Amino acid sequence: MNLDVVILAAGQGTRMRSQKAKVLHELASRPLIHHVLAASEALAPRSTTVVVGHQADAVRESVGTLGNCVLQAEQLGTGHAVQTAIADLPDDGIVLVLYGDVPLIKPQTLESCVAGAMQGGVGLVTAHFEDPAALGRILRDADDAIVGIVEFKDANDAERAINEINSGILAAPAGQLRGWLHRVNNDNAQGEYYLTDIISLAVGDGVPVYGVVSDKEEVSGVNDRKQLAELERTYQKLEAERLMLEGVTLADPDRLDVRGRVVAGEDCFVDINVVLSGDVVLGNGVRIGAGAVITDSSLGDGVEVHPHTVVEGAELAAGCTVGPFARIRPGSRLGEGVKVGNFVETKKATLGAGTKASHLAYLGDATIGAETNIGAGTVTCNYDGVDKHETHIGDDVFVGTNSTLVAPIEIADGAFVAAGSTVTTRVEDGDLAVGRAKQRNISGWTRPDKRKDK
């Protein structure tokens, strides 16, 4: 099957009250049009054409290599937009028309729609709305066959009472679609060339229209920020249901945000107000505390993330414990059983198995061996204002509280750094490093008088 996808994304979206093109507003941290592109890509199309208009350059930049963008210089209606898109497409394929502001459409629904066109007809996606508002209505005959679509502004009272709506999503053989579009006129209340008019033309030519009835949420579009928020909640509900069916326990499904792709093992637990962003992999038995944010990271079996911890671009091996209030920054690699406690920050740091940094430390551009202890207040001074320098700490090292490790530096296996030390040179195996100023006690010292208010 030669499938050519057309995505309409030229509209301004004035009701969004925004300087940004409507299709670039985000759902689950991705532009609306990217959700549509992902759904269509699941069908492995021969080509994808995006019709752009308002803020065309910004939409082109967002689409990138995911589709070929063509400009609809004048917005003369959906029929005109599709004409613009298929001008250079061959007649041997099926054209699937989608909308850049309808982000929750499912690949399975699109496959059913395309199947109608492959049978020599037109596939048309519809849905039933309790309140269809100003959406176009589906017209059926006495045999329940689809015979046309009427736009709300052109509908009479009886037609407006119909609750089956046109989603706008359809599939048709390219050659026939091109012919029907040439016959469409703009004799309507809007003065536009409606794509929907091809349905009655197809029926008039004896071509069957195969209706694919979908869920309301799946074909809901975004016209304002209220609708965008509603679809965000719908999306999050679907993601929460998916995760629960895969064996994840959610403390409250309504208080989880998934903003990417999450793969989870069995018996995971996710507390309230957690955000999972980008590509996230959770092993078996992972526990994530309230308010944690996990982005583009992999968490091994049995990892526990305590509340209000941020993990980004990191790999945590089995049995790690991080937080609360820890920040694991990009490039961090934590070995099995590592403990990173409250108010500890890591960046481009590798911590060996069993190593602990229990509280109040910064470990950047560092390689730390196994079974090492990093005391509270320890800082790797990795930046000199020009370059980043590395700190290398061996196995079974003890770094005392409030130590300053000035990179580049190496602390060998089994070494001990005394609390309060500033260490600037290599510490050999098993050595004790003491880098303090000598203490002086001054007897007879007189405290300054407390300041008196004038």
Q: Specify whether the CB–CB gap between 359 and 343 falls below 8 A.
A: yes
Backbone φ, ψ for residue 137 (5° rounding) = -105, 145
Count of domains for the chain: 2
pLDDT tens-place string over residues 224-251: 999 999 999 999 999 999 999 999 999 9
Mean pLDDT for all residues in the chain:
95
Determine, yes or no, domain membership for 231: no
Which position among 35, 80, 306, 359 bears the catalytic label? 359
Residues 383 and 305 in one domain: yes
| Residue 160: pLDDT band with limits 50, 70, 90 | very high
Encoded amino acid at 17, one letter: R
3-state DSSP assignment of residue 255: helix
Radius of gyration of the chain (CA): 31
HEC assignment per residue over 132-186: CCCCCEEEECCCCCEEEEECHHHCCHHHHCCCEEEEEEEEEEHHHHHHHHHHCCC
Residues 247 and 151 in one domain: no
pLDDT tens-place string over residues 416-454: 999 999 999 999 999 999 999 888 888 988 888 766 665
| Residue 189: pLDDT band with limits 50, 70, 90 | confident
Backbone φ, ψ for residue 439 (5° rounding) = -75, 135
18, burial (CB in 10 Å: exposed 0-12, middle 13-18, buried 19+): middle
> In the predicted model, what is the mean pLDDT of residues 3-31?
94
Residues 313 and 422 in one domain: yes
Residues 214 and 355 in one domain: no
Residues 211 and 249 in one domain: no
pLDDT tens-place string over residues 348-394: 999 999 999 999 999 999 999 999 999 999 999 999 899 999 999 99
Domain that holds residue 203: 3-219
pLDDT tens-place string over residues 40-84: 999 999 999 999 999 999 999 999 999 999 999 888 999 999 999
Task: State the pTM of this model.
Answer: 0.88
Residues 283 and 212 in one domain: no
**Residue 359 falls in the annotated catalytic set:** yes
Residues 245 and 343 in one domain: yes
Residues 244 and 310 in one domain: yes
Is the pLDDT higher at 200 or at 453?
Answer: 200
Q: Specify whether the CB–CB gap between 326 and 342 falls below 8 A.
A: yes
Determine, yes or no, domain membership for 224: no
Determine, yes or no, domain membership for 449: no
The pLDDT of residue 452 is 63
> In the predicted model, what is the mean pLDDT of residues 317-334?
98
Residues 251 and 338 in one domain: yes
Q: Specify whether the CB–CB gap between 232 and 257 falls below 8 A.
A: no
Cα distance between residue 433 and residue 424, in whole Å = 10
372, burial (CB in 10 Å: exposed 0-12, middle 13-18, buried 19+): buried
Determine, yes or no, domain membership for 62: yes
Determine, yes or no, domain membership for 12: yes
Determine, yes or no, domain membership for 76: yes
Task: Spell out a b/e string for 326-340, using b for 16 or more CB atoms within 10 Å of the CB, else e.
Answer: bbbbebbbbbbbbbb
CA distances from 171 to 3, 44, 87, 299 (A): 9, 15, 16, 42
- The residue among 281, 290, 343 whose CA lies nearest residue 318 is 281
